[in-house]
Chain A
Amino acid sequence: MSDLVVRAEGLRKRFGKTQALDGVDLAMRRGTVLGVLGPNGAGKTTAVRVLATLLKPDSGTAEVAGIDVLKQPQRVRRRIGLTGQYASVDEDLTGTQNLVLIGQLLDLTTRDARKRAAELLEWFDLAEAASRPAKTYSGGMRRRLDLAASLVGHPEVIFLDEPTTGLDPAKREDMWGVVRTQIAQGSSVLLTTQYLDEADALADEIAVIDHGKVIAFDTPDGLKRRVGGLTLRVRPSDPAKVQDALRVLDAVAAPGTNASLDTAAGARAGAVAVPVADDTAIDQALPALRRAGVEFTELGLHLPSLDEVFHALTEEGHEPAAKKESEFV
């Protein structure tokens, strides 16, 4: 049996004038998280819908859990859980009724379905709201119920389409915890996201997708190496201390880099930034800044934004293309 639980090759799908998928290849290893990262409209949701048997591609092949998605969708459906971008719980049904219904549709006996529903509601902190209609739930509760719904059948492969979009930071952390637990229990998770930090926190591998194409496929570290990783940024209260700050930050710089005045787009003047290897740099920088007498109004670690990732990746993509052209000249 293949070690890949998701394998897609050359997926294409066109809606009217939009080429939503323009030859997408994906691969996810068993027991790992694959992050599909991209902006709105990149084709993430379309790709998930194809893999989750909801949509037939115009061309291309896909296997989930070793089974052909197009030829044997029912067998795939017994092995997957799907949580869509928009909470698709039934508002008129209670939390319990929602989950029991799904259990019944997964061929659990009513007794097992009830047991499983109670277990999940407990786990997702919804036990107290279990017998209330879902329309009385808060946004975060609905998301949790929606996520619980995709776990009823103990799926081998879980698809989460932007599971944290619109959630506050604490709720995002909760969601991340759920993903990690599923992995610990032997599932594999494919999640789409617009947030680099989310992909960084959860994914073993990241596929960056734009205009229906995978423009990069790498580990989070590999991706960061290509687009620039963590940056430590300090803004001294006293502009005269900028030189001191530069000297301190140089000491914690990632190998082969230097601290510099922060010139990132949108940064106000007077800040100092340095590429760092990991978050321990802040532990060294803080006492060093104190010793040097540099007071500051801002101190933080930053990942490149999604914009910056795309900028870096597309720049990189264009260079070889330009070289190729020149070979023909």
Chain B
Amino acid sequence: MTTLDVPVRNIVGDIDKPRGGALAALLRHSVALARRSLIKTIRTPEALIDVTLQPVIFLLLFTYLFGGAIAGGDRHAYLQFLLPGMLAQSLAMGGIALGQNLNADIEKGVFDRFRSLPVARSAPLVGAVAADVVRYLTVCVVMLGFGTIIGFRVETGFLPAVAAVALAVGFGLCFCWISVWVGMMVRTPGAVQGTMFLLVFPLSFGSNVFVQTKTLPGWLQAFVHVNPITPLVGTIRGLLVGGPVVHPLWQTLAFMAGLLVVFVPLALRAYARRA
């Protein structure tokens, strides 16, 4: 080891004030931490399987294996119906990895260091969530790209399709706070996955993703109508292949706000208690 002299800090200004104020600091710290998450994602591309290969396989499975039986032989019509719904399902599933990663980080002690630094308590979580935008965009690009290859066609136009992607990513960013909260509550990354599957499967299958709601028994229809995935699928469908948009859009935005109001505070509180 060399003995290069490393000088003690020259304190300039008020050491106790975050540079540029608290809000600017939160933003800056979150961006720095989001960058960290992105670097990790780029270094381990196999961690993207759940937002690339997995939705493709699901899409193939349902279109070609079940599509014929469900839609009476008209596979193209079923693909047009299915793909917007599967986009929503893939986004809900895409958030699971976030909770797993955060859980692993806490176990490894990486978060101890962040917590010993003068950053807002929420910054590590906000940063990690923000970095997940990349994963949700990947889901949208892969689904629409691969869907187009096997015959899916946007029937509305470019702008509505962009709006659909924006809404889908926005929903993913709200929904993933459930995963963040679970990640803070349970002990191992595996348990995060197990718990989240328990939640995401009933939500994505007990919805209008795969079949028309009117074909379901009454009690199940009741569940479908209060399921946040349902209006999301309705809106994306309207934006991609036509149909009502305004009413399900409001419902979706209300659910998104609800998810944030409930799960952001829960996640932050659980994070403060953990470690």
Q: Which residues of A contact B (CB under 8 A)?
A: 49, 52-54, 74-75, 77-82, 84, 86, 88-90, 92-93, 97, 101-102, 104-107, 119-120, 122-125, 133, 149, 151, 153-154, 174, 177-178, 181, 185-187
Q: Which residues of B contact A54 (CB under 8 A)?
A: 112, 115-116, 275
Tell me, in angstroms, the Cα distance from A133 to B40 when the chains sit together: 10
On whether the beta carbons of B1 and A125 are closer than 8 Å, the reply is yes
On whether the beta carbons of B29 and A93 are closer than 8 Å, the reply is no
B118: Cβ under 8 A from any A Cβ: yes
Q: Which of A80, A84, A106, A123 contacts B1 (CB 8 A)?
A: A123
Contacts A82-B112, A82-B116, A123-B1 hold; do A104 and B32 have CB atoms under 8 A apart? yes
Tell me, in angstroms, the Cα distance from A123 to B6 when the chains sit together: 8
B36: Cβ under 8 A from any A Cβ: yes
On whether the beta carbons of A92 and B115 are closer than 8 Å, the reply is no
16 further A-B contacts with Cβ under 8 Å, apart from A78-B15, A151-B6, A181-B6, are A54-B115, A54-B116, A79-B15, A88-B113, A89-B110, A92-B40, A97-B39, A101-B36, A102-B113, A102-B117, A104-B29, A105-B114, A105-B118, A107-B28, A107-B118, A125-B1
A–B complex contacts, Cβ < 8 Å, 15 sampled:
A53-B116, A74-B16, A79-B15, A80-B116, A82-B116, A84-B113, A92-B39, A93-B40, A105-B33, A106-B117, A106-B118, A107-B28, A153-B9, A181-B6, A185-B6
Tell me, in angstroms, the Cα distance from A152 to B32 when the chains sit together: 16
Q: Which of B92-117 contact A (CB under 8 A)?
A: 108-110, 112-117
Q: Give me the 6 closest cross-chain CB pairs, A-B, nearest first.
A: A154-B9, A88-B109, A77-B118, A104-B32, A92-B40, A82-B116
- Chain A: CB-nearest residue to B118: A77
Whole-angstrom distance between the Cβ of A310 and the nearest chain B Cβ: 28
- Chain B: CB-nearest residue to A149: B113
Q: Which of B8, B44, B117 contacts A105 (CB 8 A)?
A: B117
Q: Which residues of A contact B25 (CB under 8 A)?
A: 107
Tell me, in angstroms, the Cα distance from A123 to B5 when the chains sit together: 8
Q: Which residues of A contact B35 (CB under 8 A)?
A: 101
Q: Which residues of B contact A (CB under 8 A)?
A: 1-4, 6-9, 15-16, 18-19, 25, 28-29, 32-33, 35-36, 39-40, 43-44, 108-110, 112-119, 123, 275
Q: Which of A84, A90, A106, A187 contacts B112 (CB 8 A)?
A: A84
- Chain A: CB-nearest residue to B37: A92
Q: Which residues of B contact A49 (CB under 8 A)?
A: 112
On whether the beta carbons of B4 and A122 are closer than 8 Å, the reply is yes
Contacts A54-B116, A125-B1, A187-B8 hold; do A78 and B39 have CB atoms under 8 A apart? no
Whole-angstrom distance between the Cβ of A20 and the nearest chain B Cβ: 15
CB contacts between A and B, total, < 8 Å: 101
Whole-angstrom distance between the Cβ of B98 and the nearest chain A Cβ: 15
Q: Which residues of A contact B110 (CB under 8 A)?
A: 88-90
Tell me, in angstroms, the Cα distance from A28 to B110 when the chains sit together: 27
On whether the beta carbons of A122 and B109 are closer than 8 Å, the reply is no
Tell me, in angstroms, the Cα distance from A46 to B119 when the chains sit together: 22
On whether the beta carbons of B116 and A86 are closer than 8 Å, the reply is no
Tell me, in angstroms, the Cα distance from A90 to B16 when the chains sit together: 27
On whether the beta carbons of B36 and A74 are closer than 8 Å, the reply is no
Tell me, in angstroms, the Cα distance from A84 to B107 when the chains sit together: 13
Q: Which of B2, B15, B29, B32 contacts A123 (CB 8 A)?
A: B2
Whole-angstrom distance between the Cβ of A308 and the nearest chain B Cβ: 32
Q: Which residues of B contact A90 (CB under 8 A)?
A: 36, 40, 110
On whether the beta carbons of B118 and A124 are closer than 8 Å, the reply is no
Whole-angstrom distance between the Cβ of B123 and the nearest chain A Cβ: 8
Q: Which residues of B contact A185 (CB under 8 A)?
A: 6-8
Tell me, in angstroms, the Cα distance from A120 to B9 when the chains sit together: 13
Contacts A104-B32, A122-B4, A124-B1 hold; do A74 and B109 have CB atoms under 8 A apart? no
Q: Which of A93, A124, A186 contacts B39 (CB 8 A)?
A: A93
Q: For B4, B33, B123, which residue has the most chain A Cβ atoms within 10 angstroms?
A: B4
Q: For B4, B7, B117, which residue has the most chain A Cβ atoms within 10 angstroms?
A: B117
Tell me, in angstroms, the Cα distance from A92 to B18 when the chains sit together: 28
Contacts A84-B109, A178-B1 hold; do A53 and B6 have CB atoms under 8 A apart? no
Q: For A90, A105, A133, A178, which residue has the most chain B Cβ atoms within 10 angstroms?
A: A105
On whether the beta carbons of B112 and A105 are closer than 8 Å, the reply is no
